[in-house]
Amino acid sequence: MSGMAKNIAVYPWFRFCQGLVFWQAIWFLYFQNTLSASDAILLYAIYDIGTTALEVPSGYMSDRLGRRFTLCASAAAGFGAAMLLALGGSFEVFALGQALLGASAALASGTDSALLYESLTAAGRRAEIERQEVRAWRFSFCALALSAVAGGAIALRFPALPFLAGGAAFIAALVIALRFTEPPRAGVDFAEGAEILRFGSLQSVLTSPVLIWLFMLSILMYMFSHIPFAFGQPFILEALEGSALAGEAGLVSGLVSALMMMFSVATSLFAPKLRRRLGLPALLLLAFAMQIGLCGVLALTDSAVAIAFLFLRMVPDSLSRPFIMARIQPMLSNESRATYISLQSFCGRLLFAATLFLASLSTSGEGEMAYADIRRVLGWCILGGALCFGALVLTARRLKIDRDVET
């Protein structure tokens, strides 16, 4: 098997290991029980700030030092973060672990998709990009589903165990990354210390109306996808209050997260057909509207029935992210591909970190997060989201967003 064919074959398994986030269902409860609800929100903000700070530099690193090296560095940073989060018992240690976890996410952001696209191009299989992105998405979300259930269950025995299991997953990701072959990349070779010139190579794409529209939608959808993730666990804890499952919030959260991912995987099976039937802009706007609607449901009631709506949290992502990546990849040059995608992630994370920071200011510094605090944050998000949705609908009508991926 050639190096590029091997990259394409093992890439979904790298994404699978990335998706083994065993602590996803208990991280808020873990931090809240050790510290407080406001500290838990701040710790997530630190993760996003850590990712944000390295998003664009990591793109430079990927474009200069290579995709394989950057993905190996991502896995190594993730392992260090998991160990700190498992062993640390103070805000400072948790903050360092979250910052390192953010660095891991930043290093992988854009680089993984760039490696896939460039490997497909080098193998003469560029037309497969949309199908391969969807395939990798399914692997990732199957892993997220499995790790959510397992993480919620093993946390009942030892709260830090999900982080230790996550560390093992990062080791597996590192082993796979070491097997990658660096794909060839045609483009301009920049002199040492001249990476800042790469912003010049972004000028044409940053002035493209279609890419601007997709850029704005992507950063908004990133924030609205993560709002239920940040507040989902305290919401579940509040909804179960007084029921027989009140003491099993971590396990219930794990099951809810697993169902989220399975719903997303199931949606991805018919998403390509839906994309052809509705067209790309209509499908993306539908996905964004679903995100805003989910926040609306959670703001209306804190009953256990509302937990079922959390099952749909990742459905909008499966209807949007693979198709956005497949749409923008052919429009980007090789020497700036990872940098552009990193810049997009940078803005999305910056918006979300700012939202979390504002939320922490209106949240009690002691004990568990109250539903009144959750409702207040969601209310402002819904208002802003509705205004942005209207602007996106109006501008989409004048743009040629729907176009087949180049073959």
For residue 71, the Cα-to-chain-centroid distance in whole angstroms is 16
Residues 6+ apart with CB under 8 A from 131: 272
3-17, 76-90, 291-305: range with lowest mean pLDDT? 291-305
Q: What is the pLDDT of residue 336?
A: 62
Instruction: Give the integer Cα–Cα distance in Å for 78 and 100.
Output: 7
Rounded Cα distance, 157 and 85, in Å: 17
Q: Is the pLDDT of residue 202 over 70?
A: no
- Whether residue 190 is contained in a domain is answered as no
Between the ranges 68-77, 150-159, 226-235, where is the mean pLDDT highest? 68-77
Q: Does the residue 319 lie in any domain?
A: yes
195 within domain boundaries? no
Task: List Cβ neighbours of 396 (8 Å cut-off, separation of 6 or more).
Answer: 213, 281, 285
Query: For residue 403, is it within any domain?
Result: no
Joined together, the tokens standing for residue 253 give 């959260």
Q: Is 196 part of any domain?
A: no
pLDDT, position 221: 92
In three state form, how does the secondary structure of the chain look? CCHHHHHHHHHHHHHHHHCCCCCCCCHHHHHHHHCCHHHHHHHHHHHHHHHHHHHHHHHHHHHHHCHHHHHHHHHHHHHHHHHHHHHCCCHHHHHHHHHHHHHHHHHHCCHHHHHHHHHHHHCCCHHHHHHHHHHHHHHHHHHHHHHHHHHHHHCCCCCCHHHHHHHHHHHHHHHHHHHCCCCCCCCCCCCCCCHHHHHHHCHHHHCCHHHHHHHHHHHHHHHHHHHHHHHHHHHHHHHCCCCCCHHHHHHHHHHHHHHHHHHHHHHHHHHHHHHHHHCHHHHHHHHHHHHHHHHHHHHHCCCHHHHHHHHHCCHHHHCCHHHHHHHHHHHCCHHHHHHHHHHHHHHHHHHHHHHHHHHHHCCCCCCCCCHHHHHHHHHHHHHHHHHHHHHHHHHHCCCCCCCCCCC
Could you give the CA distance from residue 385 to residue 343 in angstroms, rounded to a whole number? 21
Among 5-14, 70-79, 106-115, the range scoring the smallest mean pLDDT is 106-115
Q: Is residue 404, in this structure, part of any structural domain at all? A: no
- The total domain count for the chain is 1
**What local confidence, expressed as pLDDT, does residue 73 receive?**
93
Highest mean pLDDT among 74-78, 117-121, 195-199, 395-399: 74-78
Cα-based angle 382, 224, 243 (whole degrees, multiple of 5)? 80
For tokens 């919030």, what's the residue?
249
Q: What is the mean pLDDT of residues 19-47?
A: 81
**Looking at residue 185, what is its pLDDT?**
62
Give residue 78's pLDDT.
94
- Let me know if residue 406 belongs to a domain: no
Measure CA of the first residue to CA of the last residue in the chain; give whole Å.
23
Pick the closest to residue 103 from 38, 55, 151 (CA basis): 55
What does the mean pLDDT of the chain come to? 81
Average pLDDT over every residue of 80-98: 90
Cα 260 from Cα 242, distance rounded (Å): 25
Is the pTM above the cut of 0.85? no
Model confidence pLDDT, tens digit, residues 150-194: 887 888 788 889 999 999 999 999 999 999 998 886 444 443 333
The winner for highest mean pLDDT among 38-42, 70-74, 323-327, 342-346 is: 70-74
Q: List CB contacts of 194: < 8 A, sequence separation 6 or more.
A: none
Q: pLDDT digits over 111-152, tens only?
A: 888 888 889 888 888 888 878 888 888 898 889 888 888 887
Q: Which domain holds residue 205?
A: 3-179+201-396
Confidence of residue 56 (pLDDT cuts 50, 70, 90): low
Burial state string for 56-86 with b = 16 or more CB within 10 A and e = fewer than 16: bbbbbbbbbebbbbbbbbbbbbbbbbbbbbb
In this prediction, residues 31-55 reach a mean pLDDT of 78
Name which of 180, 44, 21, 110 is nearest 341 in CA terms.
Answer: 110
Contact 155, 161 (CB under 8 A): yes
Structural domain includes residue 280: yes
**Which CATH number is 217's domain given?**
1.20.1250.20
* 103-113: pLDDT as tens digits: 898 888 778 88
Rounded CA-CA distance 333/339 in Å is: 10
**Pick from 376, 252, 260: which is nearest to 304 by CA?**
252
